[in-house]
Structure 1
Amino acid sequence: MTTTTGTRIGYLRISMGKQDETLQHDALDKAGVKKKDRYTDKGVSGSKTSRPALDSMLSDLEEGDTIVVYKLDRLGRSTAHVASLIADLTAKGIFIESISDGLNSSTPTGRAMLQMLSIFAEMERSFIIERTTAGLASAKAQGRVGGRPKVTDSKKAKQAQALRDSGESVPDIAKALGISIATVYRITRAPAKA
């Protein structure tokens, strides 16, 4: 499918309360998107993949519809997330138009640009994996172990178990040893019933 036949749907996002979506609304007005066909997320970060208005819009879309945004970054900050979203929508016959980026997936050039975006997103993911793997290897070589530091040592775990076996309550044990209630449950077992 290479022609738009459905509704032009606008999506707007502002991440901070002080920001104003007037610029985005003006651009959507010029692009011919009716006000009744707009979804707006206010005060929601673009790094979140699930957003109330975005989720609602995605569930309302039909084949042939076009999502119109002021800029592609309104859909999300992560290149990988935006590329994945665009790929899913394209597979469902839904088009994307980014006004200020001059991108329109109903044209051959627009589709090519979206494919390039997907390639860059995949490359970005590969670089992140490589950097993470190299960082972990370097830390291991220096004797550092990743993960959260242990809150308790074996001595404290034995003390907690002894207190629990003697009938002390878990909250009291946590307070006495300066650890959380969850940690007490994790490092001890319930005393055997007589």
Structure 2
Amino acid sequence: MSRYAYIRTSTKDQNADLQRDAIAKIDGIKRVYADEGVSGTLASRPDWDRLIDRLEEGDEVIVWKFDRIGRNTMNVLEAVKTITDKGAAFRSLTEQIDTSGPMGQAMLTIMAAFAQLERDTIAERTRAGLLAAKAKGKIGGRPSVVDAKKLATIKKLVASGDHSRADIARMVGVSPATLYRVIATL
């Protein structure tokens, strides 16, 4: 039986020290696998894949928090199933979940469901906030480089048919991609 730890951060800017400190307190860790700056939504993560390939019957995978192995309920449950299908156990330090027994597996399913509910609620609130802002005339995102004057010029040049799209983009001072997006809305 070998114990392995897995650490993941979603962006290069995030710091994995909290995870590393928690893992360092566990005795008998044979190796720590770390995917830093890798989204949990990705099916393939280099060190995760190496860890899964190495697992054998009786091994244990330890994480600081179970959302480190997946981004949503389905991802987490699939990751744990992958681990348990190899005959290994999964343990999350923060949630104190250990899948070596049936109670741990049941608790993992419940905790993952609540985590998914939380993410869905946050997403719903974000959408509602964006809709409320839009209703007030506020539109998020990057400001358009095409103002009313440039739009009028684009319309005239396109209607004349005397210039190529590349020429029009240069004349107006926008990228060809921007020009094509503007033309598509005309």
TM-score range, shorter chain: 0.5 to 0.7
- Segments of structure 1 that go 5 or more residues without pairing to the other structure are 1-5, 190-194
Give 1:182 deviation, angstroms.
Answer: 1.0
Structure 2 CA distance for partners of 1:187 and 1:26, relative to 1, 3 Å: closer
Q: How many residues align?
A: 172
Give 1:62 deviation, angstroms.
Answer: 5.9
Return 141-150 or 116-125, whichever deviates more.
Answer: 141-150
For residues 168 and 182 of structure 1, what CA distance do their matches in structure 2 show?
14
Tell me if structure 2 keeps the 8 A contact 1:46–1:73.
Answer: no
The aligned amino acid for 1:124 is E
- The match for 2:172 is 177
User: What whole-Å deviation, never above 9, does each CA across 1:48-92 have from its counterpart, x for those lacking one?
Assistant: 5334312433455567653112x116726xxx7164333113334
1:87 pairs with 2:77 = yes
Return 112-121 or 54-63, whichever deviates more.
Answer: 54-63
- The match for 2:61 is 67
Tell me if structure 2 keeps the 8 A contact 1:75–1:82.
Answer: no
CA RMSD of aligned residues (A): 4.0
1:53 pairs with 2:50 = no
Percent identical across equivalent pairs? Answer: 33
For residues 124 and 173 of structure 2, what CA distance do their matches in structure 1 show?
39
Greater C-alpha Rg: 1
For residues 129 and 179 of structure 1, what CA distance do their matches in structure 2 show?
34
- The match for 1:23 is 21
For residues 90 and 100 of structure 1, what CA distance do their matches in structure 2 show?
16
Give 1:109 deviation, angstroms.
Answer: 3.8
- Segments of structure 2 that go 5 or more residues without pairing to the other structure are none
- TM-score, length basis structure 1: 0.61
